[in-house]
Structure 1
């Protein structure tokens, strides 16, 4: 990449860090739902292999989520919005699912990852917009196999999308009867469980690949990471304050509408891209 392209790449990473960090705290999504398409678009302006752009975007996003989720989780924990018992029940299965999803994501075509991103984001958006919220404050009871299967699925999908889990976990927990703010807070903590193994897996599976962007460790681009992390951590606190200050229904609608816009943009690239 030449100097101008690098400057543009950094500028896009900065914008994604601000917006992604705010969204992470607001919706418990780890910021990846913003960072992945932003980095993918930035990489499309370079001369790197198109088949690897999605892997780099996903791997870098997962690495940034480690720090974003830590900042966002702390803010939600101070407000009592993290369910520790749920983390103990669901976390190990999400961890296993993340490793499996990371291995798959590092090996398949980038178009497969884009398709997964689009389909899941649209499905979740429609669910969050049109489903009536559970009136009860008491979470529903499900057996251990159900928690295991949902955890494996959430971890695998999140690793293939480059997200912190909130896109999948927030609506899942809300469906199970958890208050939307508690679902957001707990999902922010789950982002850390997904980010660490996911980033390591993409870094390892990308080692030795040719024509990666400068300053890359496997599929994790360190230049983008340096730009993203300080901003996502700072603005995640802003998002937390907003999340606890607006009505639940408005929070659900905001989540859904943003996912639709992002998914349609990615779908356009999948259909008309090279």
Structure 2
């Protein structure tokens, strides 16, 4: 068990560092590696991915709260837009956890395997709106969009930014607005989604000890602790290194993760 704590700490450090360096949520790293770590510890195969997603999502509560505080201090949060998104986000977050709990294991693994591939593709393209910059942001149907965003983030255990930022930029929000709005929506998604996973997993006899619902507490505590330490280091290094080249390398790494996950489903 002691070795598992060490691996959780290392995973949190890597996820935090890469999140700070590339500006992506750590969930894209946390979930695949938690799947491997949980499997190595002999957790029930049909619960491994569900626990990895739930545990990853719960760690986002801490990071999203810190991010929201920072953006609010800078006055960067467009609160009227957030208020339009949040009702859908809350409903979608709860729906996402219910869907994840009801999906057949192989289908769930297949859906998740495509997520690193999609993120890699997003990292290789530039978020620069081609529309006329004089046009105001398109704020139509944001409640419905919030529902889709909340459901996807909860289903995948992912940080909201990797889905929300590209969407908002396409709606003509500038990058600063998009990042701030995305960070603000991340907190309710993580809270509601985590509560959903706790409720749905409550009393499941197949869960290992030290679990609250589908959330594995030792992994949560270790990942949160080390990721908070290493995220600022990654952010500082991002200003010194050629991040465009690093992003290409990291995108290839994500492609490898996605292909491996798909291969595991096939075989």
TM-score, normalised on structure 1?
0.82
Alpha-carbon shift at residue 224 of structure 1 (Å):
0.8
CA distance in 1, matches of 2:63, 2:91: 21
Match of 1:233 among 228, 232, 250: 228
Once the two structures are superposed, residues 30-50 of structure 1 have per-residue CA deviations (whole angstroms, 9 ceiling, x without a partner) of 421111111111011122221
Match of 1:53 among 39, 48, 52: 48
CA distance in 1, matches of 2:21, 2:73: 15
- Work out whether 1:14 is the aligned partner of 2:9: yes
Alpha-carbon shift at residue 10 of structure 1 (Å):
1.6
Q: 1:222 to 1:261 in 2, by over 3 A?
A: same
CA distance in 1, matches of 2:223, 2:79: 28
Contact 2:139 2:171 in 1 (8 A): no
Consecutive unaligned residues in structure 1, runs of 5 or more: 1-5
Consecutive unaligned residues in structure 2, runs of 5 or more: none
Contact 1:206 1:219 in 2 (8 A): yes
Alpha-carbon shift at residue 225 of structure 1 (Å):
1.2
CA distance in 1, matches of 2:140, 2:173: 17
Alpha-carbon shift at residue 191 of structure 1 (Å):
1.8
Q: 1:129 to 1:99 in 2, by over 3 A?
A: same
| 3-state SS of 1:85 partner | helix
Q: 1:203 to 1:79 in 2, by over 3 A?
A: same
- Residue 165 of structure 2 is matched in structure 1 by 170
Match of 2:138 among 120, 142, 148: 142
Q: 1:189 to 1:251 in 2, by over 3 A?
A: farther
- Residue 264 of structure 1 is matched in structure 2 by 259
What is the CA RMSD across the aligned residues, in angstroms? 2.9
Alpha-carbon shift at residue 64 of structure 1 (Å):
0.9
Contact 2:137 2:172 in 1 (8 A): no
CA distance in 2, matches of 1:81, 1:249: 25
TM-score, normalised on structure 2?
0.84
